[in-house]
A and B are shown apart, each in its own frame.
Chain A
Amino acid sequence: KAGVTQTPRYLIKTRGQQVTLSCSPISGHRSVSWYQQTPGQGLQFLFEYFSETQRNKGNFPGRFSGRQFSNSRSEMNVSTLELGDSALYLCASSWNPGGEAFFGQGTRLTVV
C-alpha cells in the first residue's frame, strides 16, 4: 500500500510569489490535515479536510488556503509569500477524523 505522497519535495520561491503544494493520501483515507513545521514552533496545524470540506482551521492568515478533491487528494496554496513562510509543510492522512494519522515526507519551502 502506497504511503502519503507529497509533491514537490523542495521548492524555492521569491517573496510575493504564490505556491501550491500537493498531497495524495493513502488509498481509502478520506481525512487530510496540513501542518507547518519550523525549528522554533514545532508542528503547527494549518487545516483539515474530510470529504472535500474544510472542517477545522488553525491560526494562520488568510494567505494560507487549501482544498480537497473528490479522490481525497488535497492541495494547499500560499499567496504573497513572506520570508517567514519558509518551513517544512507536512500533510497527514487518516481513514477518518480522529484515526491514526500518517505523514508524508513533506515539502521543504524556502522563500528568498
Chain B
Amino acid sequence: GENVEQHPSTLSVQEGDSAVIKCTYSDSASNYFPWYKQELGKRPQLIIDIRSNVGEKKDQRIAVTLNKTAKHFSLHITETQPEDSAVYFCAASNSGGSNYKLTFGKGTLLTVNP
C-alpha cells in the first residue's frame, strides 16, 4: 500500500521567514496530494491540494510543488506569521480509483516565533 514520509517532524522559524515541509510517497498510482493544517484542539483543515497533472499551485502565501518522477511534494509558506503555528499533515491518495483512501504523513509541528 501507499506510504507517506514527512519531514521535518518539527520546524521553528522566525516571523517573516519561509517554511518548507517535504513529503515523499511510494505508490506511483497516487494522483491527489492535499495538505491539512491542524491547530491545537481543532479539526484538520484543508489548506491546499494538488493533482498529479499539475506541477505547482499557489494560494496567497502558500504554495505546493509536486515532482512525480521523484515522488515527492512540498509545502511552502512565505512570510510566516504566528497564526501559521500548527501541525501540518501531507497526504496522498489514488483519487477516483477503486481503493480511494488518504494516507497521511506523521505531521510537522511548525512554530513561528514573533
Contacts and interface: CB of A to CB of B under 8 A. Distances in A.
Contact of A106 (B36, B43, B95, B100): B43
- Give the size category of B's interface with A: 20 to 34
- Give the size category of A's interface with B: 20 to 34
Interface of B: 32, 34, 36, 42-46, 49, 89, 91, 93-107
B102 A42 contact: no
Contacts of A42: 89, 104-107
A86 to B, nearest CB: 16
A64 interface: no
A106 to B, nearest CB: 6
Q: Is the interface of B mostly helix, strand, loop or mixed?
A: loop
B89 A43 contact: yes
Nearest to B6: A42
29 contacts: A31-B100, A35-B102, A35-B104, A42-B89, A42-B104, A42-B106, A43-B102, A43-B104, A43-B107, A44-B104, A45-B103, A45-B104, A48-B100, A55-B98, A56-B100, A97-B100, A98-B32, A98-B94, A98-B95, A98-B96, A98-B97, A98-B100, A99-B95, A100-B46, A101-B46, A102-B46, A103-B36, A103-B44, A106-B43
Interface in A13-31: 31
Nearest to A100: B46
Contacts of A56: 99-101
Contact of A97 (B36, B43, B96, B106): B96
